[in-house]
Structure 1
Amino acid sequence: MLNLQATPEGILLSVRATAGAKKNAIQGIHDGMLKVSVTAAPEDGKANAAIVVLLAKKLNISKSRVQLVMGATQRQKKFLLIDVEAAAAEQLIPM
C-alpha cells in the first residue's frame, strides 16, 4: 500500500528514486514508497527535476504543484503534491 500523508497543503508522497535508468517510469510500490526511475543523472538536481516532471505529468498538474520537501540527495524522498487529494495520488500506482 502506498504511504500517503495528508497535510493542509495537499499530500506528502514518499518516493524511492533510481537515477540513470533506461526510461522515466513509475515502477510500482516498495515498502510503502512509490518506486520511480528516471533517465537523468543524480547530479545538480537533474534527477529530482525529472521526478517532478514525471509526477506532474502522471497527475496532470503543473510542475509548480510538486515540491521536493525531503531527501534532495538521497534515494528516499518526500514530495508535497499541492492541492492534490489522496484518491488522485493513488492513480500513480501502475496496474
Structure 2
Amino acid sequence: MSEVVKEHPRGTILAVHLQPKARKTEIVGVHGGALKIKVAAPPVEGRANRVLLEFLAKRLKIGKKDLTILSGEKARDKRILITGKSPEEVRRALL
C-alpha cells in the first residue's frame, strides 16, 4: 500500500485510478499501484474530477479546498495532494 499513499511535506499524496461513468461512486480496490475509484459522472468538462474530489473530501472529512490534483487532470491515473492529513489518517479513512 505504500505506493498508493505517500508522505508529502504538506500532507499526503494519494495515487488514484479513476473509472468514470460508473453506476455509483465507490472505492473498489487497488489497481496498478493506485486506489481504484469508480465515479458516477462522465469525463466531460471536469465532472468526473469534481465528483472524485467531493467523494474524497467527504470520506476524509475535509474541505474540497484541501484536495489538489497534482497530475492526471485529464487522465485516469491521478496524483492527489491531501493537505493536512497524514498517510496513516488517509489509509484509515480510505483503505
Q: TM-score range by the shorter chain?
A: over 0.9
Whole-angstrom distance in 2 between the partners of 1:38 and 1:7? 26
* Distance of aligned partners of 1:18 and 1:2 in 2 relative to their CA distance in 1, 3 Å threshold: farther
Report matched runs for 1:60-79 at 5 Å. 60-79=61-80
State the Cα RMSD in Å: 1.0
* Pairs aligned (count): 93
Percent identity between the aligned chains? 32
Cα distance, 1:2 vs structure 2? 4.8
2:37 is equivalent to residue 36 of structure 1: yes
Counterpart of 1:15 in structure 2: which amino acid?
V
Report matched runs for 1:4-83 at 5 Å. 4-83=5-84
| Residue of structure 1 in register with 2:87 after alignment | 86
* Distance of aligned partners of 1:25 and 1:38 in 2 relative to their CA distance in 1, 3 Å threshold: same
Whole-angstrom distance in 1 between the partners of 2:71 and 2:44? 16
Q: Is the 8 A contact 1:24 1:38 kept in 2?
A: yes
Question: Segments of 4+ in structure 1 off by > 2 A?
Answer: none
Structure 2: segments with no counterpart, 5+ residues: none
Cα distance, 1:62 vs structure 2? 0.9
